[in-house]
Chain A
Amino acid sequence: MTDVIIAGIGQTAVNEHWDVSLRELGLFALEAAVRDAGGLKPQALFVGNMLAPNLSRQAHLGALLADFAGLTGIEAVTVEAAGASGGAALRQGYLAVKSGLVDAALVVGVEKFTDVVGSEVEAALSTASDSDFEAMQGMTPTAQAALLMRRYTHEYNVPADGFAGFALTAHANGAGNKNAMFQKAIKPDTYTRASMVSDPVNMFDAAPLADGAAAVLLTRPDLLPPGFPHPLVRIAGSATASDTLALHDRKDMLFFEAAYLSTGKAVKQAGITLDQVDFFEYHDAFSIYAALSLESSGFSIRGHGWKLAADNRITRDGSLPCATMGGLKARGYPGGATGVYQAVEAATQLRGQAGANQLANIRYGMIQSLGGPASTAVTHILEKVS
C-alpha cells in the first residue's frame, strides 16, 4: 500500500481570539496547509472538533468549513472523540489516503472555547464524561484528573512538587514557539506557589483552554507537486483504541490501557521499537496525564513517569524530548484541534523547521491524542523520509 505524506501544515496561534469566529479560525489553518503543500487540491475534509455544537451552537462543521473555504462538493465530515477529536480526524484522513480511495485529504482541527465563559464551559466539557453517572454528580474533567493524581501520589509516594518538571519543560519550550499561548519559561517556585484548581491539581498542572485551529494535508508521494519544497514526512504508524468512558468503571485506573494499545499497534506498524522514538508529543491536558501516558506507552515503568520530568529527561536535550513546542500546557489546549497541532509540530521538527526549538538528529516522532482520561487514545508515528 501507498505511503501517506504530510504534504502541508498550517496553524493559527493558540489564544483567546475574541475577534475571530469558529469558521474563520478553521479557514486560516486550512488555507495555510493548502498553500504549504503547493496548492494541492483536497478531495476530502475531516474536521476534528469537540464542542462546537455546545459552545457555538454550530454542528455540521464538515459542510460549514468546506463551504466557507470554497470547497463545496467535496466529502466533508466532523470526527468527534472529545479531546482526541484532532487525533481521530487525522486517523480518518490517513485511512482515506492509505486506502487509495482519496488522493488528498485535508484534516482540520478547530475549537472555539471563548464564545462562552465560566460555568457554561465547565458544563460543556463535562458532556465528554459519563453524563448519567459522572457529570450528574457535578464532576468536571479537572476533577477527574485530580482524582487520578491524588491516587497516583498516594500509591507511589510522589513528593509535593513531583510533577513540576512537566510544566517547567512545557513553558521552556513554549518560549520558542510563536504560536504558543505562553511564551515564557517559568521558575520552579512559580510551580510550587501556584494556587490549587482542584487539589492536588494546581494551576500549572492544568493546560489552559483556548481557541485555535491546525490543519494538515495528506497525500501520496506520487501526487506531490513538482519541486515540492519540504523534506518529506510520512505517517509510519497510526492506531486508535478505547477504554471505559467513566473512571469508576476501570479495573486499574492508574494505567491508560488505550494509550498502551494504540502505542503498541502504531509502533509495530512503523516497524520500529519504542527506543527508536526520538521525541514524544504527549497530551498533557493535566500533568498526571503526561505521567500516565509515558508509563502506559512504555517509556517508563509504572509509578516512575513523573521522574522522567523531574530528572530532566524530557527536555529538548534529554533522552526523550516531550512537548517540544510547549505541549498543551504552554502552547495551549484548543480542544479537538490539539491532535492536529501535535501533527503540525512533529512535522515541523522532522522537516527541520522548528527554529530555536529544533531537535538534532531525529527520524521518528510519536504523537498521542487523548479523549478524557484516555477513554480514547490515538497514536501516530511520523517519520522523516530519507
Chain B
Amino acid sequence: MEIARHWRLKQQRYGLVGEVCPHCDVKIFPPRDVCPECGGEAKTLYTFSGKGEVYSYTTIYEAPAGYDETAPYTVALVKLEEGPLVTAQLTDVDEESVQIGMPVEMVTRKLRQDGDERGMLVYGYKFRKST
C-alpha cells in the first residue's frame, strides 16, 4: 500500500534530508518549503548530520496496527544538533537507561510492516545512543 508515498519520502527516511533557508540560514526538518523563521521560500536541500540529543521520550505499549509486532517501543523527540526537533523511535537501547539530554545518532531500521496484502516493509530513521 501507499508505495508512491513511501518512495516520495525516501530522502527524508533514509538520509534525513531537510532544507536550509537561503535567506536566514535556519535548518528545517521535516522539509516544509516555507521557512518557519522568516517566511521566505526555503527549498534548498540540506542533509542533517543525524546527531542530536533526547528532548523527551516515552514508551508505547498499545501500538497502532502495523506496529504491534515491535511493541513495546520507545519514541522520542530528538533535538538535532543543527536545531530542529524530530519525532523518532529509539532503538538498541534499554528503555530504563534513556534520559532527557542523552546523546543519540540516526540509524536506518525497519519502521513498520504492512500486515495486509503486499507484505511491504517500510524502512526509515530511528535513533540510538551515541557516545
Name A's B-contacting residues (CB within 8 A).
118-120, 122-123, 125-126, 130, 132-140, 142-143, 146-148, 150-151, 154, 196-201, 246-249, 251
Contacts and interface: CB of A to CB of B under 8 A. Distances in A.
A320 B32 CA distance: 41
16 contacts: A118-B62, A120-B65, A123-B66, A125-B64, A130-B87, A135-B64, A136-B124, A139-B87, A140-B60, A147-B56, A147-B77, A154-B100, A196-B61, A198-B60, A248-B77, A248-B86
A319 B53 CA distance: 41
B57 A150 contact: yes
Contact of A198 (B32, B55, B61, B100): B61
Main secondary structure of the interface of A (DSSP, over half): helix
Contacts of A251: 36
Contacts of B122: 136
Most chain B beta carbons < 10 A, residue from A126, A138, A146 = A138
Nearest to B5: A132
Given A246-B87, A249-B36, A140 B64 contact: yes
Interface in B25-67: 30, 32, 36, 55-67
B116 to A, nearest CB: 12
A154 B64 CA distance: 27
B85 interface: yes
Contact of B75 (A120, A132, A143, A154): A143
A247 B56 CA distance: 11
A227 to B, nearest CB: 52
Given A137-B88, A137-B111, A138-B89, A147 B75 contact: yes
B84 interface: yes
A213 B43 CA distance: 45
Nearest to A119: B65
A119 B30 contact: no
Contacts of A198: 58-61
A119 B68 contact: yes
Contact of B85 (A118, A142, A248): A248
Q: Which 7 A-B pairs have the closest CB atoms?
A: A146-B58, A123-B64, A248-B85, A122-B64, A138-B67, A123-B65, A119-B65
Interface string B87-101: 111000000000010
B9 interface: yes
